[in-house]
Amino acid sequence: MMNRPALTALAATLPATVPFVGPEAQERQRGRPFRARIGANESGFGPSPAVKAAIAEAAGDVWKYADPENHDLKAALAAHLGVEPENITVGEGIDGLLGLIVRLFVEPGQPVVTSLGAYPTFNYHVAGFGGHLVSVPYLDDRENLQGLADAARRENAPLVYLSNPDNPMGTWWEAAEISRLIEALPETTLLVLDEAYGETAPASAIPPLDVARPNVLRMRTFSKAYGLAGLRCGYAIGEAETIRAFDKVRNHFGVNRIAQTAALAALADQDYLFSVIGSVAACRDRIAAIAEANGLKPLPSATNFVTFDCGGDSAFALKIMQALIARDVFVRKPMAPVLDRCIRVSVGPDAAIDLFEQMLPDALTAARS
């Protein structure tokens, strides 16, 4: 048997895994496609016609490298947000930026505070760079802000992760509560505030931008309301020196040329964004009504999905999810204790929600039998 190059000691301890099993993998396993793809919190409403046109026009230039400074997109974002370009870094979606943040701020063995059941890709990056996760349970289906602050101080953690609005529950905190958390954290603890669903949230949930604080990074994306999940483009907003640190480690050609072009066009078409936000709100109401009509309890949502309490334990919720998948409806569920009594359904076009509405009663019957 041949010898092989040795992995690092850390890498040797890690499982080879993917944080999410994608619908494509399930379709390969099933041998057929889903008829309703409403499980990945994508925007089934798609990008604006102007974005599609910009992508088509830019397609002939893909032989060129992208601008490694993301200059035009940073300038447009800065103008849109009322900050300076130096307060923004652009990356391969929030997922890519989360990996850079952990790499920049967490030494092997250091504690990192998050919520039990929160976004698993963040946990994946923490493990990948040798951090030690300290998890705080949710409280009443919301992330426990006081618990996160207490854990950060107790552990002397360099990093705290919070999503607002929340994934996977769809719940949210008002801006005043988020501001209180920021004030409660040590100055040496960086708060990663994931606002991927900020566009679909009430304005009262989003604190004003403050780029004077070195210990807060606000994460935003074009994957959700803008409908560009497949192009991988997100950004972080923060104090200039904190933002400048990303240039130490980022993949400078990571945000491809088409993604930069599409994001610029999406940002310019705010009318379309507002129309999508309206469609998201209407679809949330419809999904909630479908759940209630079938005896399930929808949670209030500020995201592009609705999570609902199935009224049983984790095994029952899993059976419902599996029964929907067997009926060609792709949905997901939280997996952490307490949260795992729920399933989660993303908004989407009428045809997808029609099929969900049609199949849910049969799925519930199958799960109960």
DSSP annotation of 296: -
Which of 226, 243, 268 is where one domain is finished?
Answer: 268
Say if 16 falls within a structural domain. Answer: no
Which of 268, 300, 325 is where one domain is finished?
Answer: 268
Give me the DSSP letters along 54-65: HHHHHGGGTTSP
Say if 7 falls within a structural domain. Answer: no
Do 222 and 275 fall within a single domain? Answer: no
User: Measured between alpha carbons, how far is 106 from 101 in angstroms, rounded to an integer?
Assistant: 8
Residue 330 sits in which domain range? 21-46+271-368
Do 214 and 346 fall within a single domain? Answer: no
How many other C-beta atoms lie within 10 A of the C-beta of residue 268? 16
Say if 292 falls within a structural domain. Answer: yes
User: Measured between alpha carbons, how far is 324 from 363 in angstroms, rounded to an integer?
Assistant: 6
Do 26 and 170 fall within a single domain? Answer: no
Say if 146 falls within a structural domain. Answer: yes
The set of residues, in sequence order, having a beta carbon less than 8 Å from that of 186 and lying 6+ positions away, is 152, 153, 156
Domain at 78, CATH number: 3.40.640.10
Do 244 and 137 fall within a single domain? Answer: yes
Q: Say what the pTM is.
A: 0.96
Say if 12 falls within a structural domain. Answer: no
Do 131 and 247 fall within a single domain? Answer: yes
Say if 223 falls within a structural domain. Answer: yes
Do 230 and 341 fall within a single domain? Answer: no
Do 244 and 313 fall within a single domain? Answer: no
Domains: count for the chain = 2
Do 258 and 288 fall within a single domain? Answer: no
pLDDT string in tens for the chain (369-residue length): 889 999 999 999 999 988 888 999 999 999 999 999 999 999 999 999 999 999 999 999 999 999 999 999 999 999 999 999 999 999 999 999 999 999 999 999 999 999 999 999 999 999 999 999 999 999 999 999 999 999 999 999 999 999 999 999 999 999 999 999 999 999 999 999 999 999 999 999 999 999 999 999 999 999 999 999 999 999 999 999 999 999 999 999 999 999 999 999 999 999 999 999 999 999 999 999 999 999 999 999 999 999 999 999 999 999 999 999 999 999 999 999 999 999 999 999 999 999 999 999 999 999 999
Nearest residue to 163 via CA among 43, 302, 29:
302
Do 197 and 64 fall within a single domain? Answer: yes
SS3 9: helix
